[in-house]
């Protein structure tokens, strides 16, 4: 019995030990789990810390990158601003250089060498203005060769060139500028380098009933010369036009400048304006070196008596009355032919290529008052009723032409002959050569026999 109890106690102890061992094991396991959890927490904290560090480093890197980008942008902006400033400076320097070049070009033009021609062709050389220019250039410049061409029309006279014919540097050619073959032959064979184109139909009254002749001679003739000038590389082409291309100057103080609008009012002035446009076109398109002149009414020796001053001088000398168109209030500016010749001399040598120059004077007078001056010169001032008669006006009669000549005067020109002196010279010349004009009154009917009705306003 006691043995059994002992065994029971032993077993109980064993069980207690087992339970204790189990508890110990459980505690150990629990400790291990706690340690494991602790380690896991530590690892987790480490990971979290590591992640935080990584994030921090990433933020730092991002900030550094951003700063680098901002710095780079600032540098780029600075460089761009520097480049812009450099470009602005370059543009400013370029503008300054352009202005300097323009000033240099202006100075070169102002100080340019005087043009020296060698072989000059003058058209219409036996006419009024051209004969004076031809004789003057031939005598003043013996080193220039002067070639004069004229078809010898009703209003021209080869005798006007007698003084020029005495010179070795002069040659006269009777011919028509409407012949392109003749023009080309002269320019090529004589090595022409300069053309002074004066030839033209210029009588306004005749243009009203014979306008096609004016178109043919004034426009086509000019075109033929321009084409030759282009082909043979002429160095100067001086085209002589008229103040009438401007049309009416209505206001009292209005003066036409070279930039004024062209508004011709009769077939003559229209043909001259058309010729001018051709001249300017050949300058712009083909670089023909042109100069254009526009002149006031010119008077003096050698002028055919279809114009008012020589016509009335011849009529009064023959004791005939003077027909004044309309009421005689129309105004004109007059310039003596010698002053015009001086203008051509200056423009030939100093005129600027491509430019237009007005040639005129400030002496303005109505047709009626001009007639009264002529009556006084013939001592007929007390007989106005006998020697002044009013006739039908022309189809259109411009009121006045007043021009600004300051552009030409800047080259050193100004008119020198006062009207009083010029008209005395002119009257004396016609008195000395009156035999040349005995039958001039019959010239118009002979030239235009089928135009009698249209010529009524021209009857003397």
Least confident interval from 203-217, 292-306, 367-381, 439-453: 439-453
Q: What's the CATH code of the domain at 287?
A: 3.40.50.720
State how far the Cα of 299 lies from the Cα of 301, in Å rounded to an integer: 7
Q: Give me the sign of the Cα torsion angle 17, 18, 23, 26.
A: positive
Least confident of 47-56, 322-331, 341-350: 47-56
**pLDDT at residue 254 in the model:** 84
Residue 280 lies in a domain: yes
Is 221 a domain residue? yes
> In this structure, what token pair is assigned to residue 353?
């290529």
Rounded Cα–Cα distance for residues 282 and 280 (Å)? 5
Question: What is the average pLDDT across 306-312?
Answer: 95
Q: Residue 86: what pLDDT?
A: 62
Place of tokens 């398109």: 285
Query: Which pLDDT band, with edges at 50, 70 and 90, does 70 fall under?
Result: low
Contacts of 381 (CB under 8 A, 6+ apart): 372, 375
Q: Which whole number is the average pLDDT over 49-53?
A: 52
User: Is residue 55 predicted with pLDDT exceeding 90?
Assistant: no
Model confidence pLDDT, tens digit, residues 5-27: 444 444 454 544 454 445 444 54
Work out the average pLDDT over 203-217: 92
Asked whether residue 372 is domain-assigned, the answer is: yes
The 3-state DSSP class for residue 114 equals coil
- Distance CA(207)–CA(197), nearest Å, equals 20
Q: What is the pLDDT of residue 454?
A: 46
Region 292-305: what's the mean pLDDT? 96
The SS3 assignment for 258 reads coil
The crossing angle, in degrees rounded to 10, of helices 367-377 and 308-317 is 40
In a domain, 276, yes or no: yes
- Residue 183 — very low, low, confident or very high, per pLDDT cuts 50/70/90? very high
**pLDDT value at residue 396:** 87
Query: For residue 77, what pLDDT is reported?
Result: 60
- pLDDT value of residue 105: 42
Q: Give residue 109's pLDDT band: very low, low, confident or very high (50, 70, 90).
A: very low
Q: Could you tell me the pLDDT band of residue 253, with boundaries at 50, 70 and 90?
A: confident
Question: What integer best gives the mean pLDDT of the chain?
Answer: 83
Give the active site residues. 243-244, 268
Average of pLDDT values for 101-112?
Answer: 46
Count of domains in the chain? 1
Residue 399: which pLDDT band, with cuts at 50, 70 and 90? Answer: confident
- Band (pLDDT 50/70/90 cuts) for residue 279 is very high
Q: Please report the pLDDT score of residue 192 as a whole number.
A: 98
Of the pLDDT bands very low, low, confident and very high (cuts 50, 70, 90), residue 44 is: very low
CB 148 within 8 A of CB 173: yes
**Lowest mean pLDDT, pick from 30-34, 96-100, 271-275, 374-378:** 30-34
Domain membership flag for residue 373: yes
Residue 120 burial (CB < 10 Å; 0-12/13-18/19+)? Answer: buried
Which two tokens mark 296? 């006031």
pLDDT band at 60 (very low <50, low <70, confident <90, very high): very low
The string of pLDDT tens digits covering residues 405-452 is 999 999 999 999 999 999 999 999 999 998 776 555 555 445 544 554
Answer yes or no: is 162 within a domain.
no
Parallel, antiparallel or unpaired: strands 236-242 and 194-197 = parallel
- Is 60 contained in some domain? no
For 128-164, the pLDDT digits (tens) are 999 999 999 999 999 999 999 999 998 999 999 999 9
pLDDT band for position 249 (cuts 50, 70, 90): confident
Encoded tokens for 420: 């009083």
Answer yes or no: is pLDDT of 83 > 50.
yes
Residue 24 lies in a domain: no
Residue of 52 and 194 predicted with greater confidence: 194
pLDDT band at 90 (very low <50, low <70, confident <90, very high): low
CA dihedral sign of residues 118, 122, 125, 127:
negative
Spell out the SS3 assignment of 399-440. Answer: CCCCECCHHHHCCCCCCCCCHHHHHHHHHHHHHHCHHHHCCH
Average pLDDT value for residue range 240-261: 89
Spatial CA neighbour of 373 closest among 313, 299, 436, 304: 313
**What is the rounded CA–CA span in Å between residue 69 and residue 80?**
16
Domain encompassing residue 337 = 200-458
Helix (H) or strand (E) holding 334, with range, is strand 331-336
Q: Tell me which of 27 and 179 has the higher pLDDT.
A: 179
Of the pLDDT bands very low, low, confident and very high (cuts 50, 70, 90), residue 117 is very high
């Amino acid at each position: 019995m006691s043995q059994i109890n002992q065994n029971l106690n032993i077993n109980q102890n064993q069980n207690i030990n087992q339970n204790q061992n189990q508890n110990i094991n459980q505690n150990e396991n629990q400790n291990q789990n706690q340690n494991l959890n602790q380690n896991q927490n530590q690892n987790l904290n480490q990971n979290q810390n590591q992640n935080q560090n990584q994030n921090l480093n990433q933020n730092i890197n991002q900030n550094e990158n951003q700063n680098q980008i901002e710095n780079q942008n600032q540098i780029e902006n600075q460089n761009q601003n520097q480049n812009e400033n450099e470009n602005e400076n370059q543009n400013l320097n370029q503008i300054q250089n352009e202005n300097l070049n323009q000033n240099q070009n202006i100075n070169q033009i102002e100080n340019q060498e005087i043009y020296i021609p060698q072989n000059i062709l003058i058209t219409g050389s036996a006419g009024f203005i051209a004969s004076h220019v031809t004789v003057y250039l031939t005598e003043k410049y013996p080193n220039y060769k002067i070639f004069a061409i004229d078809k010898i029309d009703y209003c021209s006279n080869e005798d006007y060139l007698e003084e020029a014919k005495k010179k070795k540097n002069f040659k006269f050619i009777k011919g028509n500028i409407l012949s392109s073959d003749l023009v080309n032959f002269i320019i090529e064979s004589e090595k022409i380098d300069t053309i002074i184109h004066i030839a033209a139909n210029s009588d306004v009254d005749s243009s009203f009933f014979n306008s096609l002749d004016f178109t043919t001679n004034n426009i086509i003739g000019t075109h033929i010369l321009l084409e030759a000038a282009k082909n043979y590389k002429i160095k100067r082409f001086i085209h002589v036009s008229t103040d009438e291309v401007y049309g009416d100057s209505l206001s009292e103080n209005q003066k036409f400048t070279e930039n004024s609008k062209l508004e011709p009012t009769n077939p003559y002035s229209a043909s001259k304006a058309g010729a001018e446009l051709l001249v300017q076109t050949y300058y712009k398109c083909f670089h023909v070196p042109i100069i254009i002149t526009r002149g006031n009414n010119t008077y003096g020796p050698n002028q055919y008596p279809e114009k008012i001053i020589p016509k009335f001088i011849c009529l009064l000398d023959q004791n005939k009355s003077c027909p004044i168109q309309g009421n005689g209030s129309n105004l004109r500016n007059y310039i003596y032919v010698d002053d015009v010749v001086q203008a051509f001399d200056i423009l030939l040598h100093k005129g600027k290529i491509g430019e237009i120059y007005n040639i005129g004077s400030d002496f303005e007078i109505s047709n009626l008052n001009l007639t009264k001056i002529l009556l006084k010169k013939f001592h007929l001032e007390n007989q106005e009723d006998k020697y002044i008669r009013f006739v039908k006006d022309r189809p259109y009669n411009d009121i006045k032409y007043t021009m600004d000549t300051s552009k030409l005067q800047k080259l050193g020109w100004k008119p020198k002959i006062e009207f009083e002196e010029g008209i005395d010279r002119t009257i004396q010349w016609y008195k000395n050569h009156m035999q040349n004009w005995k039958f001039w009154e019959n010239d118009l009917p002979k030239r235009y026999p089928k135009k009698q009705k249209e010529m009524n306003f021209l009857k003397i």
